[in-house]
């Protein structure tokens, strides 16, 4: 299992400057873990044993060079595939 979920965060959608959250419904039926490298993302929970609703959070726009859009990916893997 190797699932990629793209995150596109627009500044204009973050009206209060506190960041946003997105829910992902993951249907895996087996253990999984989330892999991501963008410092402005949080993933909760980062792993699980079956199906789950995963919340991806984006940090506020403080000190960002680009005020238009930020892009990142969250990968879900069961450890048998490489990302």
> In this predicted structure, what is the pLDDT of residue 63?
47
What CATH architecture is 2-77? Sandwich (2.60)
- Contact between 35 and 75 under an 8 Å Cβ cutoff? The reply is yes
pLDDT band at 83 (very low <50, low <70, confident <90, very high): very low
Angle subtended at Cα 72 by Cα 34 and Cα 17, rounded to the nearest 5 degrees: 105
Q: Give the CA dihedral 47, 9, 39, 34, nearest 10 degrees.
A: 20
**Res. 62: pLDDT tops 60:** no
Tokens 């490298």, located at residue: 37
Q: d(Cα 26, Cα 18) in Å, to the nearest integer?
A: 25
Calculate the average pLDDT of the chain.
75
Q: pLDDT tens digits for 5-50?
A: 666 665 555 555 567 788 888 888 889 999 887 888 889 999 999 9
**Is 59 buried (19+), middle (13-18) or exposed (0-12) by CB count in 10 A?**
middle
Q: Quote the percentage of the chain above a pLDDT of 70.
A: 61
């Amino acid at each position: 299992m190797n699932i990629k979920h793209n995150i596109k965060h627009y500044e204009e959608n973050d009206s209060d400057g506190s960041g946003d959250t997105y829910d992902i419904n993951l249907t895996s039926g087996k253990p999984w873990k989330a892999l991501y490298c963008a410092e402005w993302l949080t993933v909760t929970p980062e792993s699980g044993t079956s199906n789950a609703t995963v919340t991806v959070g984006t940090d506020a726009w403080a000190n960002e060079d680009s005020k238009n859009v930020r892009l990142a990916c969250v990968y879900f893997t069961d450890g048998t595939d490489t990302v």
